[in-house]
Every structure is written in C-alpha cells, then in structure tokens.
Amino acid sequence: MAIIDLFDAHAPLVVEPLELPLFVEKKLKVLIVRADLVHPLISGNKWFKLKYNLLAACKQNVSRVISFGGPYSNHIHALAWSAQQLGIDSVGVIRGEEVSNPMLADAQKWGMQLHFVDRANYRERHDPIWQAQLKQDVGSGVIIPEGGSNALAVRGVAELMRGILAQLPDLDYLLCACGTGGTLAGLISAAPESVKLEGFPVLKGAGFLQDDVLKLLKVAGVDAHCPWSLDLDAHYGGYGKIRKDHKEHWLAMEEQFQILFDPVYTSKLLRRFLEKVEQGMYPAGATVALLHSGGVQGRRSIV
C-alpha cells in the first residue's frame, strides 16, 4: 500500500453532542469529537501522530522503524499495522516483563518484532548510547519516540485541531487526555487564543508534562497562542490502572452515552470532566468539546 493511500485522507471527522440533565442545569453545550472513528485500525489521535512520521520514513526509504510503549500501548498497536501496510519492518520495545495480550498479539500478527525490557532499562529509552546498543540488539532502524510524540506528530495533530475548529468555530474549551503530551502539544499549536485547552494526564504526578509539552512546541517551531493547562486529578490510581470504582464509572458512562470509551484515556477524561462540571468549574453558556482519542480495542483485555 502506498503512503498516499494510507494517509491521504481519513473518514470525515464526526462531532456529536453529549446530553445530560447536568449540562442543562449548568447551561453548558457539550460535544465529543469522535477521532476514534477516523480509521478502523489507526485509532483516533494515532492517525494524526503517525501520519508525518511514516511519510518521512517512506520518503527516506526506511526499512525498519523502532518505537516504545507499554504492553497495552495504542501507539504500538497502530504502528504495527501501519508499518505492515507500508512494507516497513517494525520493532516494539515493550516496557516490563514478557506478557501476552490481545494488543500485543495483534502487533505480532502484523509482523512487529517485540523486544521486552525491564522498567529500569526502559527509562533509558531517550539516551543515545542506550539507543545505539538497542539497535545492535534488534537491528538498525529509525526511532519513533514513545507515543509517536515529536515535531512530526505536532504537525499532524495540528490538522486535527483545524478540523475541529472548522466544525466548532465558537468553541470555548477543548479537553483531551494525555500520556506523552504529543496530542496536547499538537492541539495547542493550531488553537486560537479564544479556545482554552485542558490536558488531563492519566499518569500520577504528571506535572512534568508541562515542560514536555513546551519542549514539543519548541522543536516543532510553533508558539502557543491559546491558554492551556493540565488537570492532574484524572489518573484515578495511575497509568493503566483500572480500579474497581473506575471500571464501574467507565461502564456506566458507556451505557449513559451509548459510546464505547477506552479504559486508560478517554474514560478517565470524561469522568474527571463530569466531576468538574458538578463543581461548577465551567462558566454558564460555554461550549466544551472532549476529544475521543480512540483506543477502544484496549477494552478486550479488561471487559
């Protein structure tokens, strides 16, 4: 498959209303941006984050890409399929002990070589010397950062922001879940000063993402024109942890809105947003959109 076929166009961006008596009471117009529907296998924000990374790899005739993620990584899942479609070998460097789950089984089925490293080694993934040793172990290749988050990802997600604004010109707030900060940086890069961006990290103690987002904007050569902030109370136990109380909230929200949400990202974003609405943290009359960043295939390991 040619890169032009894979990334030339995605399905039309769908924006749907979210309706609750609570939103009527607080006089809010609430919508959800269904990025989960842009492609059946390159899920949600990953389509936009991978687009220019893989375009660059194809233009350079790269034969192998190497990237990083946890055992349930949406990025690893999307990269494995995309690379196979383009005839590029892929290596997924997976954090933690060797495990098997539906996400990794898909990646292997699509030809990805999995390389498991312990958590201490995984923390060295940004170190050039460690990367050089990694390439000796798995073979040479172009490294795509964890989550695909780099200047090329910022460029891709900026296109998503422009698509959102085309449908919601009067948008006041845009909210997204955060892992590595690449999606938030891309949205910020193309947002006007009239839109407030709120990032909801799903990791404990993720204040460091403030600097990571600023670094991504800097390497992408763009400035932030909109106000933006991080809400650090959306982790509900930590990254990838689905406690019993959160699972109950998550499944109840799916029933309430008749939309499937992923357990790690969008379900926690939505839960925290509902808490903030109850606390009166958005002004009456505001238009608020939440980004559904995909990843619903991750439900298979939990539900």
CA–CA separation, 84 and 100 (whole Å): 20
Q: Is the pLDDT of residue 3 over 60?
A: no
Query: Average pLDDT, stretch 226-239?
Result: 94
- Amino acid identity of residue 241, one-letter, is K
User: How many folded domains does the chain comprise?
Assistant: 2
Q: What is the pLDDT of residue 118?
A: 95
Measured CA to CA in angstroms, residue 104 lies from 109, 158, 268 at distances of: 8, 29, 23
- 49 lies in the same domain as 23: no
For a pLDDT cut of 90, what percent of the chain falls above it?
A: 89
The region, left, alpha or beta by phi > 0 then psi within -120 to 50, assigned to residue 221 is left
Report which of residues 170 and 12 the model is more confident about. Answer: 170
Per-residue confidence band for 303, with pLDDT thresholds at 50, 70 and 90: low
pLDDT surpasses 60 at 4:
no
* Whether residue 232 sits in one domain with residue 102: no
- Whether residue 221 is predicted with pLDDT greater than 90 in this model: the reply is yes
What are the b/e assignments for 12-40, b being 16+ CB within 10 Å?
Answer: eeebeebeeeebeebebbbbbbbbbbbbe
Beta strands in 51-118 (DSSP E): 64-69, 89-95, 113-117
Pair 113, 176 in one domain: no
Whether residues 50 and 7 fall in one domain: no
* Residues with Cβ within 8 Å of residue 167, at least 6 apart in sequence: 13, 15
Say whether both 158 and 282 belong to one domain: yes
Chain segment 66-102, per-residue pLDDT in tens: 999 999 899 999 999 999 999 999 999 999 999 999 9
If you average pLDDT over every residue of the chain, what do you get?
94
- Residues, the chain, total? 303
Tokens of residue 266, six digits: 């969008």
Q: What is the pLDDT of residue 211?
A: 97
**Residue 254: Cβ-neighbour burial (10 angstroms; 0-12, 13-18, 19+):** middle
Q: Which pLDDT belongs to residue 154?
A: 97
Q: Are the beta carbons of 232 and 201 closer than 8 angstroms?
A: yes
pLDDT at 302: 75
> Are 177 and 71 contained in the same domain?
no
Residues 20 and 158 reside in one and the same domain: yes
Note whether 72 and 128 are same-domain residues: yes
Torsion of CA 20, 23, 27, 28, to 10 degrees: -110
- 242 pLDDT band, cuts 50/70/90, is confident
Domain that holds residue 179: 3-41+150-301
Statement to judge: residues 273 and 188 lie in one domain: yes
123-to-67, 69, 131 alpha-carbon distances in Å: 13, 11, 11
Q: Is the same domain home to 123 and 262? A: no
For residue 7, what pLDDT is reported? 82
**Per-residue pLDDT tens for 275-291?**
999 999 999 999 999 99
- The last residue of a domain, from among 106, 129, 148: 148
Residue 254 has pLDDT above 60, yes or no: yes
Q: How confident is the model at residue 300 (pLDDT cuts 50, 70, 90)?
A: confident
Asked if the model's pLDDT at residue 2 lies above 90, the reply is no
pLDDT, tens only, 95-151: 999 999 999 999 999 999 999 999 999 999 999 999 999 999 999 999 999 999 999
* pLDDT for residue 296: 92
State the virtual CA torsion across 195, 225, 227, 221 in degrees, nearest 10: 120
Cross-sheet strand order for the sheet of 15-17 = 15-17, 29-34, 287-292, 173-178, 196-201, 228-230
Instruction: Give me the amino acid identity at 194.
Output: S
> Domain of 88: which CATH number?
3.40.50.1100
Mean pLDDT to the nearest integer, 30-53: 94
**Same domain for 79 and 92?**
yes
Same domain flag for 163 and 271: yes
Rounded to whole angstroms, the Cα distance separating 15 from 200 reads 20
Q: Record the tokens describing residue 139, joined without a space.
A: 């073979």
Average pLDDT for 206-228: 96
Confidence of residue 243 (pLDDT cuts 50, 70, 90): confident
Choose the final residue of a domain: 107, 128, 148.
148
Q: Does 1 have pLDDT greater than 60?
A: no
Boundary of a domain, candidates 88, 119, 148 = 148
Asked if the model's pLDDT at residue 265 lies above 70, the reply is yes
213 or 11, greater pLDDT:
213
